[in-house]
Amino acid sequence: MRLSPIPAPLRNLKYALWVPIYLLCFAVLERLVTANYWPTQTRLDGLVPFCEWFVIPYCLWYPLLIWVGICLLLRDGPGFRRYMRFLAVTFFVSALLWLLIPNGQDLRPAVMPRDNAFTRWIAGLYAIDTNTNVFPSVHVVGAVGAVLAVWSSPALRSRRFLSCFTAVLAAVICLSTLLIKQHTLLDVAGGLVLSCAVGAVLYCRRPLGRFRPMTQQE
């Protein structure tokens, strides 16, 4: 009796096996880096206001990355594999930088300027997510990765609304990291530079070239 072949989406799930390993590394680094870190804030960060409403797009980062991954897994196997490679490389490079150059930021308000559901939400985030391991921002890296994955996928980029929505949401997510004082301008810049560097290798023929088409072998 011959066993049925494993469906392609299930076979491609192996490319996501890096996720629990990264989460373990992140948890360890959160406990290792608590003091004596390089503060990434500059004077320009003092010009950025605190806006608690942006905690909503900040937290939409998690469903965005999962949603893009599921869409690619079901509709574009090569796109899913490239998306996983991008996230794995950028996330682990970020973790390596946190280990080699311990960093953090000191922008979080000691007392919330207002008392409402959103500031309490942010206070909860502060309690579970330390102010360290911020450069480069993986929130920025992940958001850019989602946009690159959608725009480079023939199965997804044909849906114009989807492509535009992903890009706008990613931009707002990057902005939200500043407005709820989770990251500094330098953190965001570092995330953009890392994303562009890895994206140029994985998605482009050359840094300023067009997205190269997917192949079934990738």
26-40, 92-106, 197-211, range with greatest mean pLDDT: 92-106
Confidence of residue 157 (pLDDT cuts 50, 70, 90): confident
Nearest to 16 by CA among 72, 75, 100: 72
Instruction: Tell me the sheet residues that pair with 132.
Output: 104
Q: Report percent pLDDT > 70 for the chain.
A: 90
What is the predicted pLDDT for the residue at 3? 44
What is the predicted pLDDT for the residue at 140? 98
Domain range annotation of the chain: 51-101+140-205
Q: What is the mean pLDDT of residues 62-90?
A: 96
Evaluate if residue 127 carries a pLDDT over 80: yes
* CB-CB contact of 22 with 91 (8 Å): yes
What is the predicted pLDDT for the residue at 4? 53
Identify the DSSP state of 214. Answer: P
What is the predicted pLDDT for the residue at 33? 83
What is the predicted pLDDT for the residue at 6? 57
Evaluate if residue 91 carries a pLDDT over 70: yes
Question: Which residue did the predictor score with more confidence, 71 or 34?
Answer: 71
Cα separation values, 146 from 14, 120, 130, 167, Å: 19, 28, 24, 8
Alpha helical stretches, state H, the chain: 8-12, 18-32, 55-75, 77-100, 117-128, 138-151, 154-157, 160-179, 185-203
Amino acid at 87: L
pLDDT in tens, 168-200: 999 999 999 999 999 999 999 999 999 999 999
Evaluate if residue 20 carries a pLDDT over 70: yes
Confidence of residue 64 (pLDDT cuts 50, 70, 90): very high
Neighbours of 124 (CB within 10 A): 11
Q: What is the mean pLDDT of residues 24-48?
A: 94
Provide Rg for the chain, Cα atoms. Answer: 18
